[in-house]
Structure 1
Amino acid sequence: MRRRGLPEAERTPERPGPGPVPDAVLRSLDLAVMRRIQSLVPGDHLTPQVGTGTELALIRPYQPGDDVRYIDWNVTARLREPHVRVHVGERAITTWLMLDVSPSMNFGTALRRKADVAEGVSVAVGHVATRRGNRLGVIAFGGSEPRVLRPRQGRLGLLALLAELRAAPPADARRPR
């Protein structure tokens, strides 16, 4: 069983990392969409609007202004009147992760700091959020001013976000004196 987490070379006794997360656990997680998706980017999540998805919503008579590419020629031939296919819209989700990077995140037990646990949760949420063409953005707060890391897509985007977060100076170093 392969486990995900930080590479061993980056872990130190002061920074043990989030700990390993089994692949089976990550595969069992999924994001639940609780509101209507407003995105214009096509993706896997169904929306109540009609659009250019793969799932058929209905077939209706052609109306002036309809795109001729969506004419269903089989139904048109059977009924001898033009009909168009209307599909359910599918959109991509942009997930925003709010991450506390304040000095209080250095507190913890002998085994893990709060920052290590937050890092593990961030990796798991990022893994789930960047599946199927969705995007993940990060807002890191707790320093002198919040940092907004633009949403990125896929595994490489997630790794780039994590690298950008690790490259940032500690929150207490950014505070004005």
Structure 2
Amino acid sequence: MLIALTFFVAGCATKPTPDDTSNGMTGNNAGQSSQGEVLQQKPSGLSEQDISEAEAAARAARAAEEAASTGLVRIHFEFDQYLLTPAAQKTLRNNAKLLSAAPAINVLIEGHCDERGSDGYNLALGEKRAMATKNYMVSLGVAASRLNIISYGEEIPLDPASTEEAWAKNRRAEFKVKR
């Protein structure tokens, strides 16, 4: 009888509670479902807007990597200008050659500005920069249907500082490969 009681008490002992950090899983299976899929968890403290902005930044980074892998190079503009400098024209000639060699690639040309000026003014100037870039590329033989434009104005600076050097970096047109 004493032996049976010992087994009964041992069998009813409380089970250890899972550690809160492992979600009940340990070892190599932690963070996986029974089918082996990685569980997606929303990081705590992040709003939907934060997550959306992070996803947009990740997409932009991937597009920039793709543009860099094709060899497309950004161009820069003078203050309050959308006319192409001789250096920008040389860069665009090289970009046009690269696009001619890769006819399946379509490109989004982004117009950017520095922080000086109103939001509306900078959006309009960024659009003029993107359009001037597109028109020059079309004059070099790139099909207009392969080139789309957008203006971000001052919203996406390369350098957030408020210096002449930073502003010069931010006055640009960039090329993003579209899929």
Which TM-score tier does this pair reach, normalised by the shorter chain? under 0.3
The TM-score, its normalising length taken from structure 2, stands at 0.23
Going by fraction, where is strand more abundant, 1 or 2? 1
Higher helix fraction (1 or 2): 2
Which structure is richer in relative contact order (CA contacts within 8 A, separation 6 or more)?
A: 2
TM-score with structure 1 setting the length: 0.23
